[in-house]
Amino acid sequence: MSILAPAWTALLYLVAAVCFILALKGLSSPRTARRGNAIGAAGAAVAVVTVFLSARLENIPLILAAIAVGTALAVPVARRVQMTQMPQLVALFNGVGGGAAALVAVLELGHSGDSWGRLAVVFTMLVGAVSFAGSAVTVGKLQELISTRPLLFPGMPVVMVVVLAGALTTGGLVVWTGSPGWAGALLVLGLAAGLLLVLPVGGADVPIVISLLNAFTGLAVAASGIVLGNVLLLVAGTLVGASGTILTKVMASAMGRGVAGIMFGAFRGGSTAGSTTLSDRPVRSSSAEDVAVQLGYAQRVVIVPGYGLAVAQGQHTVAELATALTARGVDVVFAIHPVAGRMPGHMNVLLAEANVPYESLRELEEVNPEFANTDIVLVVGANDVVNPAAKSSPGSPIFGMPILEVVQAQQVVFLKRSMRPGFAGIENELLHDPKTTLLFGDAKDSLSKVLGAVKIL
C-alpha cells in the first residue's frame, strides 16, 4: 500500500523536477557545476524515495537487490575511473540508461491496452536500443577496443536504410498487434541501427556523438514516463533530451559542421580520417630549459590544454607552472576549445581538479582576439583544435571548424609525445612554422622539467 497521499506525491515530484532544472542551470558554468551536480543528485534521491512511498510496488526485495547490485558496481567504478576515461564512463552510463528504458518498455508492452500506449512503448524500445548500442560502440572507440577510424563496408548506406525501414515497419506491427515476437524483432533492429549509426563516425567527432546519444536516452526516458504513467520521468527525460539536443547543436556549430554531416560524412569522405601515420618532416625542437626561459621572460602566456594533458595527468603540474609564472609577473590564461578532449567540458573538469581559477579560463571567442598580443602559446597535448587546416585547407576533414588562433601569437611551443597526428588524423602545418618549437616527451614529465627550470631563473 502507498504511504504518501497523492497531493504529497505531486508536491515531492515538483520538488524533484525543480531540482533537475536548477541542476541544469548549475551545470551550465564551471563555477557552479559542482553545486548543480549536488542539487541534481538530491532531486534524484527525492524522486526515488517518493516512488517507494507512493506506488503500490511488488517484488520489493528484488528491486532493493537490483539497486544494491547497481550501487555496488557503479560507486567503485565512478570513484576509481581516471580523468582520461571519464568520456567512456559518461558514454557507458548513458548507454545503460537507454538500455534500461528499452527493457522497461518491453516489460510494459503487455500492460499497454491501446494503440497510443503501444506507440509510446515502440518509441522507447527503438530509441533506447539505438542509444544503448551506439553508446557501446562509442565506449569501444574511446577505449580503443575498436578502431577510432570510421568503419565502413560496401553497401552500408543501403543496409542502414533497410534496417531503419524495417524498424519502422516492425514498430507499426507492434502497435497494431501488440505481439512480443515483433517487439523482440524491433529491439534487434534498434540495436543494429545504433551500431550502424556510430560505426561510420571517427576521430574528433566522438564528443558530438556522446552528446547526441545522451539526447536519445533522454527522449527514451521521457517516453518511458508515458508508458509507466509517471510524470516525473516524463519531465526529467524531456529535460535531458532537450539539453542534450541543444548541446549537440552548439557543439556542431562550434566545429562549423552540421550534425548530419558529422554522423554521415564518412559516406562521402567528409568525416575525420583517423590516420595514425607519423610525419617525418623536419621540425624545430627545444629543451625544457629553453622553454622555461621563453616563458619566464614573457609578458603574456596562453596555455592550450588538450587530451594529451589528461592522458599524462599533468593538470596539477601545469597549474603549478601557471602559478610560478604568475609569481614572476607573467600574465597567464588558459584557452579552452569547446571540443577539446573527448567530451564536452573535458578540459574544464580537468583544470578544476587542479584548482585552476575559473577567472583564468578563456573560451574560444574570448581568447582568439588576444593571441595577436600574446608572447608565447604553450600547447599541451592539443592538436586538432589549433590546426590551421581548419581554415586554410578546403579538402581537410576539419575544414570549417573554428580553432584557437594560436598562429597569431609571437611564439608557439608544443609539448608532444611524438609526431603522431591528432585524433582527427591529419597533419598540423603549424608544427612546421618557423615560430614554432617542440618539446618532445610525456606532457607531465616535460611540464615538470620546465617548472623546475622556471623556478631557478
Tens of pLDDT, residue by residue over 306-322, are 888 887 888 899 999 99
Q: What is the pLDDT of residue 352?
A: 83
Beta-ladder partners of 303: 334, 378
Secondary structure letter of residue 277 according to DSSP: P
Can you tell me the mean pLDDT for 73-99? 84
Can you tell me the mean pLDDT for 171-183? 91
Residue 375 is a catalytic residue: no
Q: What is the pLDDT of residue 126?
A: 95
* Res. 34: pLDDT tops 80: yes
Q: What is the pTM of this model?
A: 0.75
Active-site option among 205, 280, 384, 442: 384
Secondary structure letter of residue 285 according to DSSP: B
* Res. 256: pLDDT tops 70: no
* Res. 1: pLDDT tops 80: no
Can you tell me the mean pLDDT for 247-258? 74
Question: Is the CB of residue 112 less than 8 Å from the CB of residue 121?
Answer: yes
- Mean pLDDT estimate for the chain: 86
Q: How far apart are CA 322 and CA 206, in angstroms?
A: 30
- The tens digit of pLDDT for each residue in 166-176 reads 999 999 999 99
Q: What is the pLDDT of residue 114?
A: 82
Q: What is the pLDDT of residue 453?
A: 94
pLDDT bin (cut points 50, 70, 90) of residue 69 is very high
* Res. 271: pLDDT tops 50: no
* R_g of the chain, CA atoms, integer Å: 25
Q: How far apart are CA 213 and CA 194, in angstroms?
A: 9
**CA-closest candidate to residue 346, choices 361, 359, 333:** 361
Q: How far apart are CA 172 and CA 198, in angstroms?
A: 25
Secondary structure letter of residue 152 according to DSSP: -
Q: What is the pLDDT of residue 42?
A: 95
Q: What is the pLDDT of residue 277?
A: 59
- The tens digit of pLDDT for each residue in 229-246 reads 889 999 999 999 998 898
* Res. 276: pLDDT tops 90: no
Q: How far apart are CA 206 and CA 87, in angstroms?
A: 10
